[in-house]
Structure 1
Amino acid sequence: MENSGKVVSSRREELDALRGIAAVVVLLHHVHWMWPPPWVLPDSLLLHTPLRMIATGRAPVLFFFVLSGYVLTLAVQRRKSFRMMDWYWRRTLRLCLPIAAGLLLSLLLYQICRHHPISHQLNPFFWRAQWGQAPTWEDWFEETTLLGDVTGQGYPLDAAVWSLTHEWRISLLLPLAVIWRRVWIPTILVSAIVSMVLIFSGEVAPDVTLGRGMLNGLAATLYFILFFAAGYALAVSGARLPKGRGIRIAAWLAVFAGCSIGRDSVVLVGACALILLVSDPASRSSRLLRGGIWQELGKISYSLYITHLPVFLAVVAWFGLFMPPLEVAGLSVVSAILVATVFFWLVEMPAHRLSQFHRKTIPRPALGGDMSSS
């Protein structure tokens, strides 16, 4: 993607803040996932209130998908010219270089920690999903290339990479959708039909993540297109929440339901409602999200998502046997944020600058015409 002029508007601070909040929820989910702790709340609170996001961790990831579709579409629309191959190279550099470095970090931490016994208090499901078997360079290559779970063994270096596999695949299709932006309604309808067919045919489970094997993984990607397509439709259509207190209350109720009900369709509606609520610059929720800790966490959210699981396991390996679970959990979260901050400045930002350098120095033949928003 190339810009012959300047970008029309700057980065949206409130959307960064939402990304930061979602990243923290994912962190808390994996803290909850590590132990079956004695202080755990009753199922009625964990599964039927917004705490469900921490118990299952699925809602914030689906929200990331909707938000990515929205933000990437806005970014493409703000460009005065568009170059397809440049877009692909930039996405490759910005997504895959940090992933490759994060997986190297996981491999390094495993080598450092492999002789430390894992605490018996740790949930077996957690460490079997990651570092359950000795990760290899073949695992690093498979996860770095985002090919999916080709071997059927999961992602032993970083289980969180599953969602980035889908984001990478779907982002390759996004430029085509934006070029033909007037067909956003058929795009949504086709995506919804494909998702329902995949669910009812049994090709993907209702709670699918990565999918086992290449074909099932591609079917899972087709299912998640609906969430990116919803964000894309919000951006292309220029949707705005109608004025009125009743409308805003209904939107917040949709957000509450999306956080509390274990249905992907409800999460989808809630995610769209939340984006609409904060997209109005004059709204109170938008003003509250600008600046502060949430925006800072949003800035490092990608680095945090990539690195937090290996850091959690390293902390557990070193301290899990002689520190109480609550203290280990707190140390894990603090360590993950510190490592993500360093990773952001040493890896993610250089990858971003490299993608900008590529855009400036490697010309590509332009496709389509004027990509300014209508």
Structure 2
Amino acid sequence: MHNRYEELDSLRGLAALTVMLLHVYGIFPVENKLAKLFIEYGPLRLFISGGEAVILFFVLSGFVLSIPFYKNKQSNYSSFVIKRACRIYIPYLFAIGASIICSKLFYSGEIHGLSGYFNSFWNLPINGQLLREHLLFIGTFLSNLDFAVWSLVHEMRISLVFPFLMFLIVRLDWKKGVGLAFLFSICSVILFDLFKYQESESTGTELFATINYTGMFIVGALLAQHREWLKNKFMNFSVKIKILFFSAGLLMYAYLHPSFAIKMFLFHNIDFFYRTVIDSWAITFGAALLILAALSSTLFSEILKNRIINYLGKISYSLYLIHIVVFYACIHSLHKLIPLWSIYIIAVAITLVSASLMYKFIEKPSITLGKLLTGKINRKNRKVNINATFAEQKST
């Protein structure tokens, strides 16, 4: 694609890294309350903001997917869906297959001293229902094989309707566009109230959650639509104002969870889904400011264009998919042989190597396959149109 935004690739790479670090943090229980507070609410929170990273992925997806629509270079619907399916689904299937194989080879049962979170995965039998849930992909399920895939359920659902969303967005000004994004979240809350899901029944992949996350895609699309105007505005700010905007973006992205404040001041526990909706919007606005800073700030842009960080961005999807499989395989196979800290070092190294190989041999060929398939469809459609035109001219 012309004018590829390398900074956004790097942002996605850093976000994928925080997802991995969050899952590493979740492997062992932190008993010391002060240490737990420092890690989860202090400066270290930036390094484990994995939940926030998923919201950033949604905003970035909306940004990148919308650009061809503004340039009138969008694919037809079937081509768009085929490309997205190849891009998302094939690497996903590889990761799930790798998880099944590794769980069969290395799973050693419950490991004492590690968290219940860690021990709650890879502990179910692999049966027909589990495989059907993963193969269908767009269903409502909690993966016992690779729990990072919950976000891909939303990615795929929203991808199926994204061209129809863009039909509306290109015809709306930014105010109406933001209103449309909020409307999706409001509808998601109404649906949640109608179905009355309990927190214990939630998998995070319910349809009403997808409807809420659709608003994040719309925000990304609006950022892309007005990117030049926003960049010019940002670049005309003084250095102090730029730093203020960047700091505000970081705070909103990683720390500003309004549901915590509501709970604190009202002394009332809010249902998990309401918390998700409220907090996802705070994160979305923070993510939007970070994306704007990445595109407009010379210093931030140069940092993100660093070769190592940019490479991390290239392999980010593979890293996101494979890191859990590698960590679980390493811990289950090595925990009786060497200390846990050394397993982490080994697992990080193997994860980065595995993600690089997966990017080269699975992810890139999947993208190429999508282009080949859609190229054949487009050539066939052009041939049909030419023959139809020729027949019409001959008849007249």
TM-score by length of 2: 0.80
What residue identity is the alignment partner of 2:290? L
Structure with the bigger percentage of helix: 2
Task: Assess if the C-alpha contact under 8 Å between 2:68 and 2:74 holds in 1.
Answer: no
Aligned partners of 1:326, 1:79: CA distance in 2, in Å?
52
Q: Which amino acid aligns with 2:60?
A: L
Q: What residue number does 1:236 align with?
A: 225
Matches within 5 A, 1:251-290: 251-257=245-251, 258-262=253-257, 263-280=279-296, 283-290=298-305
Aligned to 1:352: 367
Residue 41 and residue 361 in structure 1: after superposition, are their counterparts in 2 closer, same or farther (change >3 A)?
farther
- Residue 123, structure 1, aligned to residue 115, structure 2: yes
- Closer, same or farther: CA 179–197 of 1 in aligned 2, 3 Å: closer
Q: Distance in 1 between matches of 2:160 and 2:192?
A: 26
Could you tell me which residue of structure 2 aligns to residue 294 of structure 1?
Answer: 309
Distance verdict in 2 for CA 1:85–1:226, change over 3 Å:
same
After superposition, residues 1-374 of structure 1 pair within 5 angstroms as 7=1, 9-37=2-30, 42-55=35-48, 57-78=50-71, 80=73, 82-114=75-107, 116-128=108-120, 130-150=121-141, 154-180=142-168, 181-183=170-172, 185-196=175-186, 198-199=188-189, 202-203=192-193, 211-212=202-203, 217-238=206-227, 239-240=230-231, 241-242=233-234, 243-245=236-238, 246-257=240-251, 258-262=253-257, 263-280=279-296, 283-363=298-378
The separation in 2 between residues aligned to 1:272 and 1:55, in whole angstroms, is 19
Of all paired residues, the percent bearing the same amino acid is 28
- How far the C-alpha of 1:56 sits from its partner, in A, is 5.8
Partners of 2:176 and 2:381 lie apart in 1 by: 29
**1:219 deviation in Å?**
0.4
- Cα deviations by residue, 1:118-167 (Å, 9 ceiling, x for unpaired): 43122122231x212123353233223222325xxx21111110001101
Q: Distance in 1 between matches of 2:289 and 2:49?
A: 21
Cα deviation, residue 323, structure 1: 2.3
Following superposition, the deviation at residue 269 of structure 1 comes to: 1.2
Equivalent pairs counted in the alignment come to 351
- Name the aligned partner's letter for residue 355 of structure 1: G
Return 53-62 or 13-22, whichever deviates more.
53-62
In 2, the alpha carbon distance for the partners of 1:166 and 1:211 equals: 15
* Long gaps (5+) in structure 2: 258-278, 383-396
Quote the Cα distance in structure 2 between the aligned partners of 1:173 and 1:320.
45
CA contact (8 A) 1:36 1:123 kept: yes
Give 1:75 shift.
4.2
Q: CA offsets per residue over residues 261-317 of structure 1, 9 Å max, x none?
A: 33322211110000000112x621112211321111110111111111111110111
Matched residue of 2:206: which SS? helix
The letter of the residue matching 1:221 is T
State the SS of the aligned residue for 2:137: coil
Q: Which amino acid aligns with 2:224?
A: A
C-alpha displacement at 1:82, in angstroms? 3.1
Per-residue CA deviation, residues 32-67 of structure 1 (Å, 9 max, x unaligned), is 011115688634423333533555621111111111
Mark the structure with the bigger radius of gyration.
2
Deviation string, structure 1 residues 87-121 (Cα, Å, up to 9, x no partner): 0111111111111111111111111113x344312
Q: Show structure 1 runs of 5+ residues with no match.
A: 1-6, 367-374
